[in-house]
Amino acid sequence: MKRQVMAAAMGMMAAIGIPEKTQAYDIDCAIMLCMAGGFPPSAVCARAYSTMIRRITPWPSLPPFGVCTFAHVPVELGGPGGEGELDTNLPEYEWLNRTHVIWFTGSSYDTNEDGRVWSWSVKSCDRENRTCTYIQRARRESRSWPDSFVSQSGQVIELPTRRRSGEFSMRSIMVEYGDYEGNMGHSEWFAY
């Protein structure tokens, strides 16, 4: 009798179907929401952070995130069911507009005439990597790059450290972001 009841229950579940768990937002929304909170510790925010870093580390890099498409999520899945995109020009998304991708390149080598020379640059780009500005750059200097720089948002950010002697070159990238309260933060440097 127990087998018949169990078989009947399994048959009903197969016929009706078990609903799958569905996220009410995509990874771009998760990145934006977690970034606004300073990437608090959670499984969703850890995945969002790693996805953002994975997007910015190849060359050419991708924007750290796309447009949050939460507006397209159906009402039955917890969304508004609309057709439009998120308008990031609204005052409540000012934190999002402070997001920058920061690029660092540095090299050092010996020359016959000048001895050891250093070249480096720090470049800041908007979140879509379209508009970029050099914050610092030097070519063939007799000294190494500084320990830190001041970002466009006023943060003092330490530059990557040199781990090698002799001739070398390095490239690193990071994301600077602001949370919804106006506090600025940044990811670590990622060499690529």
User: What is the sign of the dihedral through the CA atoms of 189, 99, 65 and 30?
Assistant: positive
Q: Give residue-wise pLDDT tens across range 171-180.
A: 888 888 887 7
Cα–Cα distance for residue pair 35/45, rounded to 1 Å: 8
* Residues lower than pLDDT 50 in the chain: 1-24
| Residue 114 within any structural domain of the chain | yes
Q: Are 123 and 115 in contact (CB under 8 A)?
A: no
Res 92: pLDDT:
67
Instruction: Note the pLDDT of residue 58.
Output: 72
Model pLDDT, residue 87: 62
Give the side-chain half-sphere CA count within 13 A for 47: 8
C-alpha torsion sign, points 47, 51, 57, 63 = negative
Q: Residue 72's pLDDT is what?
A: 53
Query: Which residues span the domain enclosing 109?
Result: 100-191
Q: Are residues 109 and 180 in the same domain?
A: yes
- Residues 72, 108 share a domain: no
Q: Tokens at residue 147, please?
A: 């320990």
Are residues 170 and 90 located together in one domain of the fold? Answer: no
Q: Which long-range contacts (CB under 8 A, 24 or more apart) does 157-160 make?
A: 157/102, 157/186, 159/104, 159/106, 159/120, 159/122, 159/189, 160/104, 160/106, 160/189, 160/191
Q: Is 5 inside any structural domain?
A: no
Of 39, 73, 97, the last residue of a domain is 97
Task: State the pLDDT at residue 12.
Answer: 37
The number of domains in the chain is 2
**pLDDT for the residue 182:** 76
Amino acid at 9: A
Q: Is residue 143 part of a domain?
A: yes
Q: Are residues 111 and 177 in the same domain?
A: yes
